[in-house]
Amino acid sequence: MQQLKIMKCSFIILIPLLIASLIVNAEENHTSHLEKIVLGSGCFWGAEKGYEGLQGVEDAVSGYADGYDIKPTYKEIIKIKNRFKKNNFAEVVEVTFNKEVITLRALLEHFYESHDPTQLNKQGNDIGTQYRSTILYTNLAQKEVIEEVTDEFQELLYQNGYGQIQTLIKPLNNFHKAEEYHQNYIKKNPNGYCPDHSTGVVFNTDKEKLNIDNSLLLKGKVILVIDSQDYCPYCEKFKQDVANNYKGSIPLVYRTAIELEGLEIKTPTWATPTIIFMEDGKEQFSYQGYMNAEVFYKGLGEFKLGNTEAYDVAFNKGTDTRFCKEYEIFKNALDGIFVDKLSGAPLFDTRYRFVSRSGWLSFTAPIPNSTYEIPDNSYGMRRTEVKSLSTNIHLGHVFDDGPNGMPRYCINATVLEFIPRERIGV
- pLDDT digit string, tens, across residues 188-207: 777 777 777 888 888 875 54
Whether residue 10 is predicted with pLDDT greater than 70 in this model: the reply is: no
Distances 387 to 135, 353, 360 between C-alpha atoms, Å = 54, 18, 16
According to DSSP H, which parts of 36-184 are helical? 44-52, 74-77, 104-113, 140-159
One-letter amino acid at 256 equals T
- Annotation marks residue 232 as catalytic: no
- Annotation marks residue 43 as catalytic: yes
Each residue's pLDDT tens digit, 104-126: 999 999 999 989 999 999 988 88
This prediction's pTM? 0.72
In a shared domain, residues 241 and 115: no
In a shared domain, residues 85 and 149: yes
What is the C-alpha separation between 359 and 338, in angstroms, rounded? 17
Q: Identify the three-state secondary structure at position 243.
A: helix
Query: Is there a domain that residue 368 lies in?
Result: yes
**What mean pLDDT comes out for the span 358-366?**
96
What is the C-alpha separation between 9 and 11, in angstroms, rounded? 5
CA 422 vs. chain centroid, Å, equals: 36
C-alpha angle 229-230-235 in degrees, rounded to nearest 5:
85
In a shared domain, residues 70 and 175: yes
In a shared domain, residues 246 and 329: no
Query: What domain range is 52 assigned to?
Result: 30-190
Whether residue 12 is predicted with pLDDT greater than 70 in this model: the reply is: no
In a shared domain, residues 246 and 341: no
In contact, 377 and 294? CB cutoff 8 Å: no
- How high is the pLDDT of residue 28? 46
Query: Is there a domain that residue 299 lies in?
Result: no
- Could you please report the per-residue DSSP string of 313-359? HHHH---PPTT-HHHHHHTT--SEEEEETTT--EEEEGGGEE--SSS
Q: Name the E strands within 227-334.
A: 252-255, 271-272, 274-279, 282-288
- 311-342 burial code (b ≥16 CB/10 A, e <16): bbbbbeebbbeeebebbeebeebeebbbbbbb
The whole-chain average pLDDT of the chain stands at 89
In a shared domain, residues 266 and 320: no
Q: Which helix (H) or strand (E) holds 294?
A: helix 293-305
Which of these, 193, 229, 212, 214, lies nearest to 282 by C-alpha position?
Answer: 214
Quote the number of domains for the chain.
3
- How high is the pLDDT of residue 24? 44
In contact, 72 and 79? CB cutoff 8 Å: no
| Residue from 9, 43, 194, 232 carrying the catalytic annotation | 43
Query: Is there a domain that residue 2 lies in?
Result: no
